[in-house]
Amino acid sequence: MSIASTSPATGQQLKTFSALTSEILQSKILEADQAFQKYRHTSWVQRSMWLHRAAELLRDEQQSLKWAQLMTLEMGKPIEQAIAEVQKCASVCDYYAEHGAKLLAPELVTTDASQSWVEYQPLGAILAVMPWNFPFWQVFRFAAPTLMAGNVALLKHASNVPQCALAIEEIFLKAGFPAGVFQTLLISAAQVELVISAPQVKAATLTGSEPAGISLAQAAGKVLKKTVLELGGSDPFIVTASADLDEAVTVAVKARLLNNGQSCIAAKRFIVLESISAAFTTKFVQAFRQLQIGDPLQTTTDVGPLATLAGCEEIDRQVQISIAGGAECLIGGKKWSGLPGYFYEPTILKNIPPTCATYQDEFFGPVALLFTVPDLNGAIALANDSPFGLGASAWTQDAAEQERFIQELESGAVFINGMVKSDPRLPFGGIKRSGYGRELGRPGILEFVNIKTIWVK
């Protein structure tokens, strides 16, 4: 089987790779286990030095641009956003390099023993199944805490970003991490079960679609191994009468169209109170009209292509079903033909009826769903009327309204007067069908360690 890298801006194939044979895959798993036996005994100081060095490599101006261009070529994100992604990867390396030892320090506990405490020890090889939409960030936010904790990592990246996957392995090797500590596996989805079933692999994490998450969880469940899943989202973006309307509109456009709309934590459902609906809608549509679609390598481009032809066709299918089902299309609603790639016009659909087949879908592309509600109760009810629960953004200057959003919105994160985003210092993850477990912050580094009780008399 071959793994192909294709430019979504042109539809042209860039490069092909051969998938690993079962024999080579097994040898890489064994290499990871052998590397772990030594790596687990390295000091906090040494691991910290290697992570800081990885951050330095990511911040190198010339190299940073090279990796950003690689992301843009393979999956189509605007180049300025790709550069920012590389820099964010450096920040997560530095965060765990600086704080990892403290986050995993033994904790004394007073009991009936002479001494008792909790130790946090590495597990071994951890499998990461990662998506194409943030091809560097998704990997580094897993790898930085995992490696700092003393584990080793096996990466199965999305098949359409193989060059990014190989570049990440190269970065960790150049940073000084021993061979085998971080390995990229160019394998098919069908080979993932073979990896998770290997006794040397102790746990797995996946960011991606619900079907992919279910498949990994089932495979891991058969061999009783832990998983962390970050899956889809249909995040609400609620705007009340007390909000700063201009700021809310500006952030709403960015929150929906960042990464060409292909983000699990993108704002997707814009829920606006009736009293300000007309004003918000006018400003929102006008802002969409001013967006520049085009070549993602050009710094003036706001919206590039979708990553795959299948993704472009799927978003168009959802839009057409929504319109046929009663939604009003305020702008866009069709593929963009200015260039030969997988482009879709920035689109706003208003008031998809609950009876429509796409009402509870995740729209993974540049399509905003706009809803009008009479009051705060209606806004919260509509926000929670979703199988997903990843993040939520609410815009209000009223303290009582803020408290209600914080307590009542069903999601893994609530951002008041700001765009939902990931931050190395804060835990990240969802509830309901958005997955389970957490990445980042202290909870993130605790996911793949043995939380060991020690009792001495």
Active site positions, annotated: 230, 264
Helices 61-75 & 44-59 angle (0-180, nearest 10): 70
What secondary structure letter does DSSP report for 335?
B
CA separation for the pair 143, 136 (Å, rounded) = 10
Q: Are 187 and 156 in contact (CB under 8 A)?
A: yes
What CA–CA distance (Å, rounded) separates 269 from 407? Answer: 19
SS3 call for 123: coil
Tell me how far apart the alpha carbons of residues 208 and 92 are, in angstroms, rounded to a whole number: 20
Residues sharing a CB contact under 8 Å with residue 355, sequence separation 6 or more, in sequence order = 325, 326
Cα dihedral 108, 109, 113, 114, rounded to 10, equals 40
C-beta separation of 441 from 426 below 8 A: yes
The label of the residue with tokens 């539809």 reads: 11
DSSP assignment letter at 15:
E
